[in-house]
Amino acid sequence: MRKKVGVISLGCDKNRVDTEKMLFLLSERYRLTPEIGEADIVVVNTCAFLNASRKEAIDEILALARRKEEGKIEKLVVTGCLPQKFVKDLWNGLPEADVFAGISDYEKLPAAIEESYRSGRLNIVGAPRGEPDCPRVRTTENYAYLKIADGCSNFCTYCLIPKIRGAYRSVPEEQLLREARGLGHVKELILVAQDVTKYGADLGGGENLVRLIGKLSALENVEKIRLLYCYPESVSEELIDEIASNGKVLKYIDIPLQHADDGVLKRMNRKGTYESNLALVRKLKARVPGIAVRSTFIAGFPGESEAAFSRLCDFLREAELFNAGFFAYSKEPDTAAARLKDQIPARVKAARVKKLYAVQKEIAAKLLAEMKGKVLDVCVDSFEGVCWAGRAYCNAPAVDGAVYFTGAGDFGAGDTVRVRVTGYEDYDLYGVFEKK
């Protein structure tokens, strides 16, 4: 009988796409199991973006190493960003791991696992290159991610991505269309990359994000399209028009602004300013009525004064973003920001993150209150015992709130229903099912 393999995927949605391709490649030689306790071989696809993510990965690997020592696992495989950047340290530090593979080595992985049975430990980490052109084993139900590019060439001073995943590399348009068709029926196709708006700039064949959206919209198996990680300086007039006019594109955009103070943005090597970013948010709201604009921000970047932090709070109040995530600056090795003076104490960073969430919660309360009485199309995810849970256009999976509603009808998970909003709590909406 073929051996069973289980995969643990850590980190971002881009990593999830890598995992789904890896699962297909492994399935050609092994039996897949969702139960790690049943697996002969366990693969951990790691994240290394922040110290916290590296710690999570190491803790997971060490727990599996103990299972291997107890004879419950035959082979332990470590893949993804962590070995891509730190394999020299891992080779000696994690002797329990049998195979180390990087972000572009998934096609070689099945053969490497077999070789480890014959020859012992292997390091097959290679240089970042193109995306595997293969089907995927979907691990999500009502939505799927489509990674349209890998790597990054923006070189923000706090970020390790260029050192891990290399320069920006767009996936050719035809390959993406094949991949999207191969996903089967998709309620919501979520386009992701480190910088979605740069898509096609390196291909030289006229490919760009708007053209890709148009071609993906023509696929019958794709119901809706959501855009994540659109860098502000590249949100073009053409893209705004596409969001406004294309019925398949959800009126939602994630723009990672990272800060609002001009001095902090300059030290981050970000191209925007307070005024340019605020103008962009206002333009999006004017041209796409009701659009949900989401962003992320870093608090406690080196040299962030009290005045700079207050400037960020002022920006949030002026921009009135539908949702935002806030993170304390993490001093990452081998980044320019790690060498900057005036590093902020951890307790100050934590307090500033807490303050930002308090400001955003007030903004969210105002915006959600304005939705009372509106009827939203909601994709049903699950039944939560006393009510249904789902997502509207303003709710991206995993990062935004949800829509909870009551009511009986001929529907179930995966269906899209109409819900009249009756109230809210924190970042979630509440409502009742409304028949057409």
DSSP 159-223: --HHHHH-S-EEPPHHHHHHHHHHT-SEEEEEEE-SSGGGTTTTT-SS--HHHHHHHHHT-TTEE
Q: What is the full DSSP assignment across 48-72?
A: -SSHHHHHHHHHHHHHHHHHHHTTS
Domain membership flag for residue 346: no
* Contacts for 195 with CB less than 8 Å, ≥ 6 apart: 149, 152, 154, 168, 229, 230, 231, 234
Q: Is residue 25 part of a domain?
A: yes
Q: Do 46 and 155 have their domain in common?
A: no
Q: What angle do CA 288, 290, 292 make, to 5 degrees?
A: 95
Residues 118 and 144 in one domain: no
Same domain, 20 and 117: yes
Q: Is residue 236 part of a domain?
A: yes
Whether 119 and 144 map to the same domain: the answer is no
Instruction: Tell me which residue range forms the domain holding 231.
Output: 140-254
Contact criterion met (CB below 8 Å) for 173 and 213 = no
Q: What is the DSSP string of 257-306?
A: -B---HHHHHHTT----HHHHHHHHHHHHHHSTT-EEEEEEEES-TT--H
Last residue of a domain, one of 254, 278, 297: 254
User: 375-383 and 323-328: which strand pairing?
Assistant: unpaired
In single-letter form, the type of residue at position 176 comes to L
Residue 231 included in any domain: yes
Decide which of 123, 158, 180 is a domain's last residue.
Answer: 123
Calpha distance 46→58 (Å, rounded): 9
d(CA 433, CA 301): 45
Q: Which residues contact 65 (CB under 8 A, 6 or more apart)?
A: 76, 94, 96, 97
* pLDDT the model gives residue 146: 98
pLDDT at 143: 96
Largest CA distance in the chain: 66
The beta strand positions in 339-415, using DSSP E, are: 375-383, 388-391, 403-406
Q: How far apart are CA 414 and CA 285, in angstroms?
A: 29
Which pLDDT belongs to residue 1? 64
In a domain? residue 365: no
**Same domain flag for 388 and 422:** yes
Q: Which of 76, 23, 13, 85 is nearest to 54 (CA)?
A: 85
Residue 247 lies in a domain: yes
Of 70, 89, 123, the residue that ends a domain is 123
In a domain, 131, yes or no: no
SS3 state of residue 46: strand
Among candidates 178, 187, 274, 263, which has minimal Cα distance to 225? Answer: 187
For 154, half-sphere exposure in the C-beta direction (CA atoms, 13 angstrom radius) is 28
Give pTM, 2 decimals: 0.95
Does residue 153 share a domain with residue 94? no
Q: Are strands 403-406 and 428-433 parallel, antiparallel or unpaired?
A: parallel
Residue 347's CB is within 10 A of a number of other CB atoms, namely: 9
What SS3 state is found at 381?
A: strand
Q: Are residues 247 and 152 in the same domain?
A: yes
Angle between helices 237-245 and 209-217 (to 10 degrees): 20
CATH number at residue 110: 3.40.50.12160
CATH number at residue 154: 3.30.750.210
Number of domains within the chain: 3
189 in the same domain as 107: no
Distance CA(321)–CA(326), nearest Å, equals 13
* Burial of residue 291, with CB atoms counted within 10 A of its CB: 0-12 exposed, 13-18 middle, 19 or more buried: buried
Exposed / middle / buried, residue 158 (Cβ in 10 Å: 0-12, 13-18, 19+)? buried
Please check whether residues 178 and 219 belong to one and the same domain.
yes
> Is the Cβ–Cβ distance between 257 and 298 less than 8 Å?
no
Q: Contact, 200 vs 208, CB < 8 A?
A: yes
Give yes or no: residues 158 and 246 share one domain. Answer: yes
Q: Are residues 74 and 118 in the same domain?
A: yes
**Tens-level pLDDT at each residue, the chain (436 residues):** 699 999 999 999 999 999 999 999 999 999 999 999 999 999 999 999 999 999 999 999 999 999 999 999 999 999 999 999 999 999 999 999 999 999 999 999 999 999 999 999 999 999 999 889 999 999 999 999 999 999 999 999 999 999 999 999 999 999 999 999 999 999 999 999 999 999 999 998 889 999 999 999 999 999 999 999 999 999 999 999 999 999 999 999 999 999 999 999 999 999 999 999 999 999 999 999 999 999 999 999 999 999 999 999 999 999 999 999 999 999 998 999 999 999 999 999 999 999 999 999 999 999 999 999 999 999 999 998 899 999 999 999 999 999 999 998 888 889 999 999 999 999 999 999 998 7
* Cα separation, 320 vs 318, whole angstroms: 6
Query: Looking at residue 408, which CATH number applies to its domain?
Result: 2.40.50.140
Give long-range contacts, CB 8 A cutoff, 24+ apart: 61-64. Answer: 61/94, 61/96, 61/97, 62/94, 64/36, 64/96
Nearest to 280 by CA among 267, 295, 266, 265: 295
Q: Residues 14, 100: one domain? A: yes
Q: Is 345 a member of any domain?
A: no
